[in-house]
Amino acid sequence: MELVVKDLTKAFNDQVVLDRVNYTFESGKIYGLLGRNGAGKTTLFNCIAKDLTWNNGEILMGENEQDWHDYNPLDISYVYATPHLPSFLTGLEFITYFMAVNRERLRDPDISAKAHLTQVGIDQKAQTRLLRDYSTGMQNKVQMLVSLIVNPPVLLLDEPLTSFDPVAAKQMKDFILSLKKDAIIIFSTHILELAQELCDEIVLLHDHQLQPVDSKHIHTSYFEARVVSMLSDKTDSEASADED
Ligand SMILES: Nc1ncnc2c1ncn2[C@@H]1O[C@H](COP(=O)(O)OP(=O)(O)OP(=O)(O)O)[C@@H](O)[C@H]1O
């Protein structure tokens, strides 16, 4: 499966955020999306999820070029940086409702809502509390859970894991890795170590465009210097000097 972004342009009034962006994402890979504050990472995710309309270009999905087609927003699971949850429901009510509505898309229909919540560390007592009384980390776990209990061809994670305790973060990382075989996973982060640990490819959103970082640099000691250079508009020779 491929997710293809073709000549995508998105502007808010006269502010161009994405300018003829092109990229092909493939299933079986985890992509790390890096960029400076305000570069447009969330905007790109919102376009892919069809939460936003765009000015020009196309976003398509398909097995290969002959098969590229428009897609249903339900094909995209999107974990927002700030949880969007119905605060008036308990964790258990929400997951039970979500599973009923998405019954045909569940990864494992035999796992109960209670078991799912327990799996991500929301204990039985917390399960019957209102979501508005959950901590940010707990809300993020529930948000992540709803994206992971369905079987999405594309999973977008906007700055995930930042609010998780070390045990939950490890659990979620393992969960994300277990989904990689069948999905296109793109996550945005400012934590370079996390990108190095999880990602097969690193893509920078810089100067309104997507630029790959050569994968031979990902696991090197100078990765941080290379990314900082690329995001600071240094020339290649200046970047190499920083790496020495
Ligand atoms: N709904 C909107 N209306 C107007 N401008 C917007 C809107 N959403 C985003 N922007 C602007 O678009 C630019 C890109 O924002 P975006 O949130 O996509 O950046 P980001 O890369 O996710 O940033 P960060 O790393 O800080 O989270 C910013 O200048 C932002 O102010």
Looking at the structure, tell me whether residues 192 and 95 fall in a common domain.
Answer: yes
Structure confidence at residue 72 (pLDDT): 92
Structure confidence at residue 196 (pLDDT): 92
Looking at the structure, tell me whether residues 228 and 116 fall in a common domain.
Answer: no
Cα(241) to ligand 1 centroid in Å equals: 32
Looking at the structure, tell me whether residues 73 and 58 fall in a common domain.
Answer: yes
Structure confidence at residue 238 (pLDDT): 60
Ligand 1 close to Cβ of residue 206 (< 6 A): no
Looking at the structure, tell me whether residues 244 and 128 fall in a common domain.
Answer: no
Looking at the structure, tell me whether residues 243 and 159 fall in a common domain.
Answer: no
Structure confidence at residue 152 (pLDDT): 83
Looking at the structure, tell me whether residues 223 and 121 fall in a common domain.
Answer: no
User: Domain limits at 232?
Assistant: 219-244
The CATH code of the domain that includes 197 is 3.40.50.300
Looking at the structure, tell me whether residues 165 and 239 fall in a common domain.
Answer: no
Q: Which of 12, 45, 231 has most ligand 1 atoms within 8 Å of its beta carbon, as the pocket-test mutant?
A: 12
Ligand 1 close to Cβ of residue 10 (< 6 A): no
Cα(17) to ligand 1 centroid in Å equals: 8
Looking at the structure, tell me whether residues 232 and 205 fall in a common domain.
Answer: no
Cα(38) to ligand 1 centroid in Å equals: 5
Looking at the structure, tell me whether residues 122 and 236 fall in a common domain.
Answer: no
| pLDDT (average), residues 182-193 | 92
Ligand 1 close to Cβ of residue 37 (< 6 A): yes
Cα(42) to ligand 1 centroid in Å equals: 7
| pLDDT (average), residues 233-237 | 60
Q: What is the pTM of this model?
A: 0.90
C-alpha distance from residue 48 to each of 43, 60, 88, 228, 239 (Å)? 9, 9, 29, 26, 32
Looking at the structure, tell me whether residues 241 and 205 fall in a common domain.
Answer: no
Q: Whose C-alpha lies nearest to ligand 1, atom 7?
A: 12
Looking at the structure, tell me whether residues 171 and 127 fall in a common domain.
Answer: yes
- Measured over the CA atoms of residue 169, residue 172, residue 178 and residue 183, the dihedral's sign is negative
> How many structural domains are present in the chain?
2
Looking at the structure, tell me whether residues 108 and 40 fall in a common domain.
Answer: yes
Quick one: pLDDT band at residue 53, thresholds 50, 70, 90? very high
Mean pLDDT over the full length of the chain: 91
Structure confidence at residue 116 (pLDDT): 93
- Distance, in Å, from the CA atom of 41 to the CA atom of 17, rounded to the nearest integer, reads 9
